C-alpha cells in the first residue's frame, strides 16, 4: 500500500489496460492535423501512439526513432505508409522523455527499499540485545542514524520528482500555448502528477512513523515494539509487574 502511487507512476503507458494508458507525463497533440500520429503519450520508460483510433504502446529505453517505428510496424503493418511523416513528432517525444523528464521517482523507490533493510536490522538488534550493553548501544545509535537517513531520503526524492515533473510539464504546456502559430499542443498528465504527490505524502507519513518507533532516551535506543527483558535490566516494555504479596492474616 505504501508505494502503490509510486509504482503506478512508473507503469504509465505500459499497456492498453483500462486506466493505465491515462497515466502519462505529457501528451503531444498535432494541432494542424499534418502529422500522421494524432497524439503521443509519454511515460517514464514507454510511449503510447494514437493512430487511426488505435493505441500502440512501445518501450523506448535506449531505442532510436527508427527502432520504435519498426516495433510499431510489427504491431500494425499499416504504419509503413506513414514512416517519413512520423519521425519529427516521435523524435520530439523521445527527446523530452530522455533529456527533460528524468525518472527521479525510481531513485525514491530504490532508497525506500534500502531504508526498509536498515529498519529491519535495527529492529532485530533492539529485540536481541540488552539495553545496558554500552558497545551495543553505540551500534544501535549508529544504525538508527543510518536507518533514518535512508528512510527520509526517499521523501526528498519523491518531493523532487513531483515538483520537477509538475514544473517541467507546466512550462512546456505554457510555451506551446503562447506561441503565435504552434504546431503542437502539449498537455501535462494530471493523474501522474497527483500520484507522485500522493507518493510523497505516504512516504513522509511512513518516515514519521519509523522515527517515532525508534526513540532515543538518555543515550539509548528504545523500540516501542520490544517486549524482551534481560538479567540486570529493567522490566521490558509491555510487561506487567508481578502481583503484590498477599495481605497478612488478621490478628486473633
pTM for the full predicted model? 0.69
- pLDDT level of residue 132 (50, 70, 90 thresholds): low
pLDDT digits (tens, 9 = 90+) for 161-188: 889 888 888 888 888 777 665 677 788 8
Report how far residue 8's alpha carbon sits from residue 199's, in angstroms, rounded to the nearest whole number.
Answer: 10
Which residues 6+ apart lie within 8 Å of 242 measured at CB?
none
- Residue-level length of the chain: 252
pLDDT band at 225 (very low <50, low <70, confident <90, very high): low
pLDDT at res. 205: 92
Q: Which domains does the chain have, with CATH numbers?
A: 4-223 (1.20.140)
Residues 6 or more apart in contact with residue 57 via CB below 8 angstroms: 13, 14, 15, 16, 21, 46, 47, 48, 49
What band does 37 get if pLDDT is binned at 50, 70 and 90?
low
Q: How far is residue 105's CA from residue 82's CA, in Å, rounded to a whole number?
A: 35
Intra-chain end-to-end CA distance of the chain, in Å: 68
Amino acid at each position: 500500500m505504501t508505494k502503490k502511487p509510486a509504482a503506478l507512476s512508473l507503469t504509465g503507458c505500459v499497456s492498453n489496460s483500462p486506466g493505465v494508458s491515462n497515466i502519462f507525463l505529457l501528451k503531444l497533440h498535432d494541432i494542424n492535423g499534418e502529422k500522421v500520429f494524432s497524439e503521443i503519450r509519454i511515460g517514464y520508460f514507454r510511449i503510447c501512439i494514437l493512430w487511426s483510433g488505435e493505441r500502440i504502446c512501445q518501450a523506448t529505453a535506449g531505442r532510436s526513432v527508427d527502432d520504435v517505428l519498426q516495433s510499431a510496424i510489427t504491431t500494425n503493418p499499416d504504419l509503413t505508409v506513414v514512416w517519413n511523416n512520423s519521425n519529427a513528432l516521435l523524435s520530439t517525444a523521445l527527446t523530452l522523455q530522455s533529456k527533460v523528464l528524468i525518472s527521479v521517482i525510481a531513485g525514491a523507490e530504490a532508497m525506500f527499499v534500502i531504508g526498509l533493510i536498515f529498519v529491519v536490522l535495527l529492529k532485530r538488534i533492539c529485540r536481541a540485545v540488552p539495553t545496558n550493553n554500552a558497545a551495543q548501544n553505540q551500534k544501535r545509535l549508529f544504525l538508527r542514524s543510518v536507518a533514518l537517513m535512508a528512510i527520509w531520503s526517499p521523501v526528498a526524492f519523491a518531493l523532487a520528482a513531483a515538483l520537477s515533473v509538475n514544473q517541467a510539464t507546466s512550462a512546456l504546456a505554457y510555451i506551446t500555448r503562447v506561441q503565435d502559430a504552434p504546431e503542437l499542443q502539449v498537455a501535462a498528465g494530471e493523474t501522474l502528477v497527483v500520484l507522485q504527490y500522493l507518493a510523497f505524502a505516504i512516504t513522509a507519513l511512513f518516515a514519521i512513523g519509523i522515527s517515532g518507533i525508534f526513540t532515543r532516551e538518555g543515550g539509548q535506543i528504545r523500540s516501542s515494539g520490544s517486549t524482551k527483558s534481560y538479567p540486570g535490566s529493567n522490566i521490558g516494555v509491555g510487561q506487567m509487574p508481578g502481583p503484590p504479596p498477599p495481605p497478612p492474616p488478621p490478628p486473633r
